[in-house]
Structures are given as structure tokens and as C-alpha cells.
Structure 1
Amino acid sequence: MKKVSNILARKGSSVIAIDGGTTVLDALKLMAEKNIGSVVITEDGAYAGLLTERDYARKVILQGKSSLETQVREIMSTEFPKMIPENSVETCMHVMSENNLRYLPIFRDNTMCGIISISDVVTETILSHEETIEQLKSYIQS
């Protein structure tokens, strides 16, 4: 059974992080530049939450707030399940599906050590299935 650590080993564990006082517009520019759908928000250098495209759409645009004046700490999401590298990919898939999440922060010893997306989970599942298929083909041919 594949684990979150497999995903982090494949994609890396570096994350893009910004301070909670950053304006939403600056955060969106960074996300567009890096071609990412979420960014880690920090307060005093420690993990505080995530800002996602969904947060922007629902908490800025739909509420008529200004992207130039609103700080990311005002709209970031903070209620994510604490996942660890030892969690299975299947567990993450279940948690993401059950909670309608697209991103999960990963923690080791209460320190954030990476972030995974639903795309990462799907990719890892596909790779795992392809590996199983190749093993079965090899077994049948031998």
C-alpha cells in the first residue's frame, strides 16, 4: 500500500509559503507565476493555514472584498486534517473526498513537511496500478 511519503519522495516536499499579512492580490500573482492552486500561509514563520483558489472565489469575489486590501490571513483555510507521511494514499483519498478538499498539508512532529493535492493522489494511484499490471504481466509470462 502506497504512502504519502511516496508522493513526497516523487514530487518533493518544498512548499511555497507567504506571510499572513500578504495581500490577496500578491498571493494570487505568486500562485499564477508558480502555476499552483494553493499557497501555505505562515505567521511568525510557522504554518497557519492554506490559501486556495476556492478561498479567493468564495471569500473575496463573492463577498465583494478587495484583493488589494484584504490580507490572506483573513480568508485562509485552517481546518485541514493533520496528515502524516505514514498515512496511506487511500486514506488521503478518502479524507479528501469526504471533506471535499483538494489539498492536504502533511506534518511530521507537528511541523509541516509538505503538501499534497488531489492530483498527486490520483497520479500515485495510477502509478501504483500500472506497477501492479506490469508485475502481473511479468508473472503470467514467466
Structure 2
Amino acid sequence: MPSRPIHQVIADRAFVNVSAFTSVREVTRLMQAQHCSAALITEHGVLTGIFTERDATFRVIAAGRDADTTMVGEVMTDNPMTLAEDKPFGHALHLMYENGIRHVAVVDAARRPVGVVSARDALLLDALDFGAELVRREEITVIL
């Protein structure tokens, strides 16, 4: 699992990509519709920031800001950590652990976003491995 390239982990997965001048309400609605926990913020197609569920909670709701009038560029994390899509997934996990973050933007050589890898991806891969192990054990039980 940790050696899989990130592009395999995020393959064919939609992600939210918006301008810094998009309202927080609109961004969170897009995140909800896409089942995403983070949105990538771009200017002229180049990544400039990331906005997560935690940002919505702490920087908007807890701060008493209006989600309709607050632009995502005001509350996003500027210049987020990024990875190339050919890096191993384990590298993303290491970056998240070392920096206390849950999302890493995946970009191409021109810093154009191609997706987001999250800590949840590690859980999903572990769940798949666990499911396969359960099937294997059941097959062994049937044989015995």
C-alpha cells in the first residue's frame, strides 16, 4: 500500500477546485456534493491554497464569520504542501504525519491541481486489505 503511486490512489476521483473569490458557503456545498473534505484554490489554473472542513469549522464558524460573505481566499491555507502524482502514497502519509495535516494537494509540474490525497485514503486502503484478509480466512475455514 505505501509504495503505490499517488495517481493510483486518487485515480478517477473528483475534487473541488475553485477561485479564491468563491464564498465559503458555495465551496462547502461543492465539497458536500462531491463528498470531499477539502477544496483546492487556484488562480489562473495554478494552486494557491487549500480549504478544508477544519478551516470551515475553526476559521469560519467558530470565528463567527458569515459563510455567504466570507471568500474562501480569506480563510484558506496559503501555499499548501504539494506532491507530484508519481510519488509513493507512503510519502504523502509521512508528510501528513510530520506536519500535522490531513490533506495534501497533488499537482503536476506546472502546479496545476490533479487531485487531493487525504489521511482517509489510508483508512480506505487498510479497509480493503482487511476485507481481503477476511475473505481469505473464510475460504480457509471452508476448506478445513
Q: TM-score range by the shorter chain?
A: 0.7 to 0.9
Moved segments of 4+, more than 6 Å:
128-132
Taking only aligned residues, the RMSD between alpha carbons, in angstroms, comes to 2.5
The 5 Å alignment of 1:1-142 reads: 1-9=3-11, 12=12, 14-109=14-109, 110-125=111-126, 127=128
Residue identity in the other structure for 1:4: I
Q: Give the fraction of aligned pairs with identical amino acids, expressed as a percent.
A: 23
In 2, distance between residues paired with 1:130 and 1:88? 23
In 1, distance between residues paired with 2:86 and 2:129? 16
Would the aligned equivalents of 1:89 and 1:125 in 2 still touch at CA under 8 Å? no
SS of aligned partner of 1:67: coil
Moved more, 106-115 or 121-130: 121-130
Would the aligned equivalents of 1:85 and 1:106 in 2 still touch at CA under 8 Å? yes
In 1, distance between residues paired with 2:129 and 2:7? 14
Q: How many residues align?
A: 133
SS of aligned partner of 1:83: strand
Q: For residue 138 of structure 1, what is the aligned residue in structure 2?
A: none
Unaligned runs of 5+ in 1: 135-142
SS of aligned partner of 1:47: strand
Q: What are the Cα deviations for residues 76-125 of structure 1, in whole angstroms up to 9, with x where unaligned?
A: 11242221122222221111112121111112213222211111233335
With the length of structure 1 as denominator, give the TM-score of the two structures: 0.77
Residue identity in the other structure for 2:83: M
Residue identity in the other structure for 2:113: M
Would the aligned equivalents of 1:2 and 1:128 in 2 still touch at CA under 8 Å? no
Q: What are the Cα deviations for residues 16-69 of structure 1, in whole angstroms up to 9, with x where unaligned?
A: 212211111111222222222111112233322111110111111222211121
Unaligned runs of 5+ in 2: 137-144
In 2, distance between residues paired with 1:94 and 1:45? 27
